[in-house]
């Protein structure tokens, strides 16, 4: 009589969904622990349009795809780590393990699941915005502020976030203009503070970003005026790139991140989350660190379960 899935060994001890920096970092920790690992990756990292990665020691200024390519090569040198190019479309618990399905109709089983699936930025529907995203429209000054320091910088935000963003960006440039993209919702105290620092607040709706090859030239306003800027900072709304963790029962925070502890453990036993999906610290360095810790902790749990 053929054995059922429950009496068979799972295909892998760990399946990692998402093969960018966090996922590969976890895969390396697990591969070095001799764990049987499968990485499933759809090939759509959020920084795929960004020309250079910064603020990651030893890799400062390197093209993101080069970092990821070298990481993949090094991780797959460990014989217990396998790679599958594809989109994970299903994840369910089946007894003591998980079953993961792909868009190609494949199924894999594993004892542990790690999601490193990132976020899907909801970019404003403005002509030119998507062309500039990650190139001259930026979200993180720690990743890209140095390259535009001292230049004329625009910030597109409103309310309390606008004030906090201006206060942060002011470290990199004193030549700042704030676009609230409609009537300002800042408090009078915040507006007075910006006026004190001679930071103009433009309330006209933004109509378009004038750009060439992803390099912003000016912010065109609904009233026909255009304000020249060398770069624009904006924090877009986002949603989880992958719905599978929530479908498994993982909890979202009030801000839309997946809830997990410092080792990536979620409220669902056996399910881990690392990288941008779980943290507002959206950087390659933070993703690598999170993946490394989660990989080690997953190995610890597996060791405890079978010894």
Window from 102-111, 157-166, 275-284 with minimum mean pLDDT:
275-284
Tell me the per-residue pLDDT of 31-81, one tens digit each, with 9 for 90 and over.
999 999 999 999 877 667 677 888 888 888 788 889 889 999 999 999 999
Give the Cα separation of 305 and 253 in Å (integer): 29
What is the mean pLDDT of the segment spanning 78-100?
Answer: 97
Tell me the per-residue pLDDT of 199-222, one tens digit each, with 9 for 90 and over.
999 999 999 999 999 999 999 999
% of residues, the chain, pLDDT over 70 = 97
- For the chain, the domains span 5-121+237-305, 124-233
Instruction: Please state the φ and ψ torsions of residue 190, each to the nearest 5 degrees.
Output: -65, -40
pLDDT bracket for residue 3 (50, 70, 90): very low
Fold equal for 5-121+237-305 and 124-233: yes
Whole-number pLDDT of residue 5? 42
Whole-number pLDDT of residue 7? 54
What is the mean pLDDT of the segment spanning 17-35?
Answer: 97
Whole-number pLDDT of residue 58? 85
Beta strands 206-212 and 107-115 are unpaired
Whole-number pLDDT of residue 44? 75
Q: Which residue stretches of the chain are H helix? A: 21-31, 64-75, 129-132, 141-144, 159-169, 188-196, 244-247, 284-305
Beta strands 176-179 and 201-202 are parallel
Assign a CATH topology to domain 124-233: FAD/NAD(P)-binding domain (3.50.50)
Q: Which CATH class is domain 5-121+237-305?
A: alpha beta
pLDDT bracket for residue 282 (50, 70, 90): confident
pTM equals: 0.91
Whole-number pLDDT of residue 51? 75
Give the Cα separation of 188 and 17 in Å (integer): 47
Tell me the per-residue pLDDT of 218-235, one tens digit each, with 9 for 90 and over.
999 999 999 999 999 999
């Amino acid at each position: 009589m053929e054995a059922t899935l429950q009496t068979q060994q799972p295909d892998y001890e760990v399946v990692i969904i998402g093969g960018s920096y966090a996922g590969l970092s976890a895969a390396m920790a697990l591969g070095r622990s001799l764990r049987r690992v499968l990485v499933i990756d759809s090939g759509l990292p959020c920084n795929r349009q960004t020309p250079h990665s910064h603020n990651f020691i030893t890799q400062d200024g390197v093209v993101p795809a080069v970092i990821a390519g070298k990481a993949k090569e090094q991780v797959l040198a460990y014989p217990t780590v396998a790679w599958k190019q594809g989109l994970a479309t299903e994840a369910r618990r089946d007894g003591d393990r998980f079953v993961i399905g792909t868009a190609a109709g494949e199924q894999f089983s594993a004892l542990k699941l790690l999601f490193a699936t990132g976020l899907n930025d909801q970019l404003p529907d403005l002509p030119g915005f998507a062309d500039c995203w990650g190139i001259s429209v930026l979200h993180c000054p720690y990743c890209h502020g140095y390259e535009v320091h001292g230049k004329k910088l625009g910030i597109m935000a409103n309310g309390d976030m606008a004030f906090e963003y201006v206060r942060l960006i002011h470290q990199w440039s004193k030549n700042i203009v704030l676009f609230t993209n409609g009537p300002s919702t800042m408090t009078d105290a915040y507006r007075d503070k910006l006026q004190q620092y001679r930071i103009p607040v433009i309330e006209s709706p933004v109509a378009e970003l004038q750009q060439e090859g992803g390099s912003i030239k000016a912010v065109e306003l609904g009233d026909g005026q255009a304000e020249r800027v060398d770069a624009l900072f904006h924090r877009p709304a986002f949603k989880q790139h992958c719905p599978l963790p929530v479908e498994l029962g993982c909890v979202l925070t009030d801000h839309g991140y997946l809830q997990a502890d410092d080792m990536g453990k979620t409220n669902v036993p056996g399910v881990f989350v690392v990288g941008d999906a779980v943290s507002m610290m959206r950087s390659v360095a933070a993703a690598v660190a999170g993946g490394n810790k989660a990989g080690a902790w997953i190995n610890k749990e597996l060791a405890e379960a079978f010894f």
